[in-house]
Amino acid sequence: MFASFMINTWLVATIVAPVAGVVGYFVVLRGSAFPAHAIPNGAFAGAAGAALLGISTLIGLAVFSLLGALGIGVLGRRGRRDVATALALVMMLALGAAFLSRTTEYEPEIYSLLLGEVLGVSTLELWPVLGLGIVSIAAIIVLYRPLMLSSAVPEIAEAKGVSRQRIEICFLLVVALATAMTLPVVGALLIFSLMIGPPAAARSFTSRPVLAMLLSVGIALATVWIAIAASYVYNWPIGFFVGAFGALAYGAGRGWAAWRRARTVASRPAVAAAHST
């Protein structure tokens, strides 16, 4: 599975996983699971549109991801957040379906764009992916303090002059960038499994931010590597393994947290008394 045509896949995954792990940490912290699921659908529409127009897929991905993120941010301000996200999501999916219906390779294209394609990465595409990844991480580093403040203690952040809405839009844009780069490997529908499962698990094991982020990156890397290997061996879609491992990681995290809670209760009589009501 380390043949020459697989090398690119391994490289892309190794670039993609850390970005998903870091950005995903904030997705989980901010409770932005829904937008993180919705924005990739914009990317899907972009890739489909790009295929139709014959321009670079990555450009289509990036442009539509960013448009999607902005759309969710703007629509969400006028109406209810979750409704806006849901409708933007399906509109972009439907657009993508419409674009694809005009091309000749409807079926396989849907499949690989939405659900991932292990072998779909050419060497030429590696560089932009790496570039987008670096930009995403750099954005997180630059925004780190206001982002942490706004995510953990929004009211205090507002008092300190950090506009919650501005940070929200900025963060959604970063998610869009991270999405655009991860889509070729894992597919639109499953990017966010990488951005949710590993960080959620990491946060169950530790509450210290930097440690959690590192753990999140580690779990994300393990997830994609095992997923690629399994996909290669069984010929099953990589997305299946990413979704499954994401769920396993999350389950492990919750199990650990529950076990820790049970131990705490057992070892402290006062706490046990409080819990026994």
Partner 1 sequence: MHQLYTWVIEPGFFASAPVRTAVAIGGVVAVVSAVVGLFTVMRGQSFAGHAFGDVSAAGGSGALLIGISPLTGFIGLGVIGAGMMELIGIQRVRGRDLATGIVLGAAIGLTALFLYLDTSASATTGAAQQILFGSIFTITSSLPLIVTFSVLAVGAIAVMWRPLLLATVSPDIAAARGVPVRLIGIAYMLALAIAVGLSSLTIGAILSTALLIGPAATALRLTRRTGGALVVACVTGVFATWAGILLAYDSYYWGSARRGLPVSFFIVAVIFVVYLLSGLATRRGAGGPRAAALAVGDVIARDKTAAGDQIAA
Contact between 150 and partner 1 (CB under 8 A)? no
Count, residues near partner 1 per rule CB under 8 A: 50
The single-letter code of the amino acid at 37 is H
Q: Is 42 helix (H, G, I), strand (E, B) or coil?
A: helix
Which of 19, 200 has the CB closer to partner 1? 200
37 binds partner 1 (CB under 8 A): yes
Considering just the CA atoms, what is the radius of gyration of the chain in Å?
20
Residue for token pair 């899907």: 44
CA-to-CA separations, 212 to 161, 216, 223, in angstroms, rounded: 27, 6, 16
DSSP 55: S
Which residue type is seen at 217? V
Residue number, 89 or 220, with CB nearest to partner 1: 89
Residue 257 beta carbon to partner 1: minimum distance, rounded to whole angstroms? 11
Closest of 14, 43, 10 to residue 192, by C-alpha: 43
Looking at residues 89 to 118 of the shown chain, list those that interact with partner 1 (rule: CB under 8 A): 89-91, 93-95, 97-98, 101-102, 106-107, 110-111, 114-116
Nearer to partner 1, 37 or 216 (CB): 37
Cβ contacts of 130 within 8 Å, gap of 6 or more = 15
Q: Which residues bind partner 1 (CB under 8 A)?
A: 28, 31, 33-34, 36-37, 78-80, 82-83, 85-87, 89-91, 93-95, 97-98, 101-102, 106-107, 110-111, 114-116, 187, 189-190, 192-193, 196-197, 200, 236-237, 239-244, 246-247, 250
